[in-house]
């Protein structure tokens, strides 16, 4: 079965052009310029970008990945799919080792089914001083052996670990992660500049939501933010909801790291796609007001209610990225972080037909995943 999408504006890594594309068996088989050589489904001049890749996401539609409940997790994935996310990593939060292990083995089933692209442990090996919405009572000292056991529970699907480099045992745990094929990400950390570099030297390659849950940049105390930004080995995550990071600070980070080292994430939690109200993130109670999630106790920001389409649109309209740059930081670079850029992350022949159709105001008009419409434009 072959499908031609005609009269489209297509965003490829080379730029945006008027053209058409053909899809067969879930893959892109042709990308052409100008009018399509055969009749097809006309997109009436609308923009087509690659499906978004979200490497840091705790849930949505009332479902929270840290609970490990499969039906709820499917609801969350479906919600984000409708907003253009075609590849997603499920992020857990700090919990007891038993709870993390059981959520992990449950979510591993959804990874087996191709619904999730992996599991991310955010915690429990993070700083008490920078724990944000994580339960301080459940934080643990990094332990490579304990971590190895949690990785086993995921049957090959644990893809990322957020850890604070300054904690005793952290560097060994980062080395274990690297050896197990798990991406070590530095975050929720009170480390100095030097301690952060030691974490990168041990194998850490991602900065978990840069700026958030880290000591601020200081001209005599550069801290982790400067170390992570300037190191070419590190890709930085940014939550582009206008609440977590000011657009000017986002531009600053982007100017240093560039499109190859910057990824937009949602850090979305259960309330995403739902109304204001009271929700739970791990063991913590969260109140959502005007779309902003905060801990009931203490008021820390507790994840977001962001979706990738909004992060993408804000990148163009508020931050000032070009369409091509916004595509790169929402799809190709996160795909590369996961080691999946051979098969997803851009509109190119041979890659999966993961597509988002957008109207002129960059709102989602249609979503295709692996060649099947989730929403038909």
* Phi/psi at 132 (5° precision): 55, -120
Smallest separation (angstroms) from Zn ion to the CB of 221: 25
What is the x/- site pattern for Zn ion, positions 313-342, by CB under 5 A?
Answer: ------------------------------
CB of 322 to Zn ion, least distance (A): 28
* Helix or strand (DSSP H, E) at 373: strand 372-375
Contact region with Zn ion (CB under 5 A), list: 46-54, 99-107, 121-129, 222-230: 121-129
Identify which of residues 157 and 351 has a Cβ nearer to Zn ion in the complex. Answer: 157
The tokens describing 318, both together, are 């508020």
Virtual torsion, Cα 322, 186, 212, 332, nearest 10 deg: 20
Count CA atoms within 13 Å of residue 293 on its CB side.
28
> 């080691």: which residue's tokens?
339
Q: How far is the CB of 133 from Zn ion (least distance, A)?
A: 8
Nearer to Zn ion, 9 or 56 (CB): 56
Nearer to Zn ion, 190 or 267 (CB): 267
Report CA torsion sign: 159, 79, 332, 204: negative
Containing 247, the helix (H) or strand (E) segment is helix 247-257
Only one of the segments 68-76, 221-229, 265-273, 280-288 lies at the binding site for Zn ion (rule: CB under 5 A); that segment is 265-273
Task: Print the binding letters for residues 157-196 with Zn ion: x by CB under 5 A, - otherwise.
Answer: ----------------------------------------
**How is residue 220 annotated by DSSP?**
S
DSSP state of 259: G
Query: Which of 166, 267, 309, 328 lies at the binding interface for Zn ion (CB under 5 A)?
Result: 267
Give yes or no for residue 99 binding Zn ion (CB under 5 A): no
Binding span for Zn ion by CB under 5 A among 25-33, 117-125, 165-173, 355-363: 117-125
Nearest to Zn ion of 55, 229 (CB atom): 55
Active-site residue numbers?
267
Nearest one of 243, 267, 242 to 93, comparing CA atoms? 267
Query: How many Cα atoms sit within 13 Å of 332 on the Cβ side?
Result: 19
Smallest gap, in angstroms, from Cβ of residue 79 to Zn ion?
Answer: 17
Contacts for 153 with CB less than 8 Å, ≥ 6 apart: 100, 101, 102, 104, 105, 108
Q: Between residues 86 and 94, which has the closer beta carbon with respect to Zn ion?
A: 94
Instruction: Please name the residue that has the structure tokens 């570099």.
Output: 197
CB of 321 to Zn ion, least distance (A): 23
Q: Which residues bind Zn ion (CB under 5 A)?
A: 122, 267
């Amino acid at each position: 079965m072959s499908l031609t999408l005609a009269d489209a504006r297509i965003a490829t890594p080379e730029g945006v052009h008027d053209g058409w594309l053909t899809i067969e068996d879930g893959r892109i088989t042709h990308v052409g310029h100008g009018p399509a050589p055969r009749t097809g489904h006309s997109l009436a001049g609308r923009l087509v970008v690659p499906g978004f890749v979200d490497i840091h996401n705790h849930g949505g539609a009332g479902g929270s990945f840290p609970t490990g409940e499969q039906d709820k997790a499917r609801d969350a994935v479906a919600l984000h799919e409708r907003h253009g996310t075609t590849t997603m990593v499920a992020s857990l939060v700090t919990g007891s080792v038993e709870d993390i292990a059981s959520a992990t083995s449950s979510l591993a089933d959804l990874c087996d089914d191709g619904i999730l692209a992996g599991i991310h442990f955010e915690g429990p090996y993070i700083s008490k001083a920078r724990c944000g919405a994580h339960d301080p009572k459940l934080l643990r000292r990094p332990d490579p052996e304990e971590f190895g056991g949690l990785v086993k529970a995921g049957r090959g699907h644990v893809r990322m670990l957020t850890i604070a480099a300054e904690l005793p045992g952290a560097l060994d745990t980062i080395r274990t992660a690297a050896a197990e094929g798990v991406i070590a990400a530095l975050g929720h950390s009170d480390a100095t500049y030097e301690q952060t570099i030691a974490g990168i030297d041990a194998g850490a390659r991602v900065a978990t939501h840069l700026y958030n849950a880290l000591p601020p940049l200081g001209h005599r105390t550069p801290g982790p933010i400067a170390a992570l930004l300037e190191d070419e080995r590190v890709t930085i995550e940014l939550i582009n909801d206008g609440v977590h990071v000011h657009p000017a600070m986002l531009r600053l980070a982007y100017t240093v790291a560039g499109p190859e080292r910057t990824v937009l994430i949602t850090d979305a939690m259960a309330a995403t796609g739902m109304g204001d109200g009271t929700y739970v993130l791990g063991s913590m109670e969260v109140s959502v007001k005007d779309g902003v999630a905060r801990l009931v106790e203490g008021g820390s920001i507790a994840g977001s209610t962001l979706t990738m389409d909004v992060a993408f649109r804000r990148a163009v309209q508020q931050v000032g990225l070009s369409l091509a740059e916004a595509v790169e930081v929402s799809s190709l670079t996160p795909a590369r972080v996961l080691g999946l850029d051979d098969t997803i992350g851009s509109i190119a022949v041979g890659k999966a037909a993961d597509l988002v159709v957008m109207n002129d105001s960059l709102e989602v008009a249609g979503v295709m995943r692996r060649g099947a419409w989730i929403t038909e434009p």
